[in-house]
Amino acid sequence: MKYVLKSEQLVLFFFTVIFFPFATNLPWYFYAGLFFAPDLAFIGYAVNSKVGAILYNILHHQGIWMIVALIGFSTGTEWLLGLGITFVGHSAFDRIFGYGFKYFDSFHNTHLGIIGNNKK
């Protein structure tokens, strides 16, 4: 099942990369420049693991960014559409490598399993 989930995310990631220039008139560097922006949520871990997990989960929630993209599409706000597509792509990219939603106890404890050097 793990490989099915990763393959779904791989397809979604490539879809966002290919779909972005067709859906928007934004330059390619909009996608490339904002691709790792959701990882700024790591700053929350400087406060504590709960704050870090909440920020990480919000910025990596594909449903939220799909809604943002739909709002951008329906209102004609191209930068919102591009932001939504970019952040969905980033989230899919993370999930390909096993980075899932974080639990409050540790950055390494995700809904997809334990990541990093803490694997048991």
Structure tokens at 29: 């560097």
pLDDT at 2: 80
Residues 92, 112: contact at Cβ < 8 Å?
no
Q: Give the pLDDT confidence of 32-77 residue by residue, as tens digits.
A: 999 999 999 999 999 999 999 999 999 999 999 999 999 999 999 9
Beta carbons within 8 Å of 47's beta carbon, 6+ residues apart: none
Residue whose structure tokens are 């397809």:
11
Question: Quick check: 120 pLDDT over 70?
Answer: no
CA neighbor of 49 nearest in space, from 8, 116, 104, 113 = 104
**Residue 48 — φ and ψ, nearest 5°?**
-170, 175
pLDDT at 103: 85
**Residue 103 — φ and ψ, nearest 5°?**
-85, 160
pLDDT at 28: 95
Higher pLDDT, 116 or 101: 101
Question: Quick check: 111 pLDDT over 80?
Answer: no
The rounded percent of the chain whose pLDDT value lies above 70 is 96
